[in-house]
Amino acid sequence: MSRRVGILGGTLDPIHCGHLDLGAAVQQALRLTALLVIPAHIPPHRPRPSASPFHRFAMAAIAVSGRTGWQASDLELLQSAPSYTETTLGCLHQDGYRASELFFIIGADAFADIASWKNYPGILDAANFAVVSRPGSPVDALRHRLPQLATRMKLPEAVVNEREASIFLIEAATADVSSTAIRQRRLHGQSISGLVPPGVEQHIEQHGLYRTITPSEPHDERFANPAAGRLHGQS
């Protein structure tokens, strides 16, 4: 079988069990040979990340540890420009990957807004898109919401077209969690156990990420927001 490389990107602030469920569902459904987890450096359509690129890459590396074929990539973190998917896929093409070998992993809720992406609809020719259902966003609804793309939508068992990238619809159970909810729970001193991998939770606790100084805490800069921008002496 030719190589099949999954691409799981995003701000990943922090990476959580929902992200991992997406990747695992696509890896199983499409028999991926590798999966790259790529934290964005400068997300073009979102606020600036709370945690620094160093921390977000570290958490991604921790999350993929022990998962066969998974690897954290700093491809977007090395770029100074906004992290557009078009640019990332272009870099992979330059490294020798064909569009038919790439599978961009995305939740059905996010894919519903694909028309707002840079270089749409051309972006859909740069890789296969593996769209996974999310709580409240079944993949079947996309055929009606995006009728102009319905002919390109396929079930995961369909043959990969070497000449034209496809949109694979994958129905799977994924954790109902978001990075925003995790940051809010941390801000209010609530547990995030079970929402992120144990190693990621430990990293967040160890470095005091997603917290602010409260009157009951000593004035220790490890608990201030700027601490989220430091890792191993970097800022």
pLDDT, one tens digit per residue, over 91-118 is 999 999 999 999 999 999 999 999 999 9
Helix (H, G, I), strand (E, B) or coil at 71: strand
Per DSSP, the three-state class of 30 is helix
Mean pLDDT over 169-178 rounds to 96
Token pair, residue 215, equals: 């009157």
How buried is residue 212: exposed, middle or buried, by Cβ count under 10 Å (0-12/13-18/19+)? exposed
The chain-wide mean pLDDT, for the chain, equals 89
Contact status, residue 57 vs residue 9, Cβ threshold 8 Å: no
CA distance linking residue 63 with residue 167, whole number of Å: 26
| Range from 36-40, 109-113, 196-200, 223-227 carrying the lowest mean pLDDT | 223-227
3-class DSSP assignment, residue 10: strand
> Is residue 224 predicted with pLDDT exceeding 70?
no
pLDDT(18) > 70: yes
Query: How many alpha carbons lie under 13 Å from residue 147 in its C-beta half-sphere?
Result: 1
Q: What is the pLDDT of residue 125?
A: 97
Name the DSSP letter for residue 224. S
Task: Report the top-level CATH class of 5-170.
Answer: alpha beta
In this prediction, residue 230 carries a pLDDT of 38
Rg of the chain over CA atoms, in angstroms?
A: 18
Asked whether residue 227 carries a pLDDT value surpassing 80, the answer given is no
| pLDDT greater than 50 at residue 218 | no
What's the pLDDT score for residue 47?
Answer: 79
The C-alpha atoms of residue 58 and residue 62 are separated, in whole angstroms, by 6
Domain ranges of the chain: 5-170, 179-229
Enter the pTM of the model. 0.88
Paired tokens of 137:
């966003």
Residue 1's pLDDT is what?
Answer: 55
Please check whether residue 130 is in contact with residue 104, taking contact to mean a CB–CB distance below 8 angstroms. Answer: yes
- Among candidate residues 66, 7, 63, 62, the one with its CA nearest the CA of residue 32: 7
pLDDT digits (tens, 9 = 90+) for 37-68: 999 988 777 778 999 999 999 999 999 999 99
CA 91 to chain centre: 17
Tokens coding 161:
């077209």
What local confidence, expressed as pLDDT, does residue 62 receive?
98
